[in-house]
Structure 1
Amino acid sequence: MSQNGIVLVASVSIFSDDKVLIIRENKPAAVNKWNFPGGRIEYGEDILYSARREVKEETGLDVNLICHYWYI
């Protein structure tokens, strides 16, 4: 979702025991950079739906989310 140059994104941290899931990006601007699964929230899309969608697209995993919101 973008309005007045602001882009909203969802980022997901996935923990299992003592491990954290990160992905290696393949987008031209970030090739081989490591990141948490995430991406843009589409217009009208629920934040949690967006977060689950991005994880599925980038990892193939279906996840249940525990939400923590941070506002900057």
Structure 2
Amino acid sequence: MDKELLAMLVCPQSQAPLEYDNERSELVCRQSGLAYPVRDGIPVMLVNEARQLDTEEKLGKPRNEAPALGGE
């Protein structure tokens, strides 16, 4: 994601700044609790297209990885 473009974009719901999540290819707004998809390099800044963040994501905590199955 282009840093200059990211600096200009704000959440359409809260007007708060966004963070880019490279792993999920999303623009994240912790204030509104929404993550906007980036498809083919184009941010989709529509509230009805956004994903609701879970509590840990809103707080900025790293995602927990699933435990290995059949581990010792």
Normalising by structure 1, what TM-score? 0.25
Larger radius of gyration: 2
Normalising by structure 2, what TM-score? 0.25
Q: Which protein, 1 or 2, shows the higher relative CO under an 8 Å CA cutoff with sep ≥ 6?
A: 1
Higher fraction of strand = 1
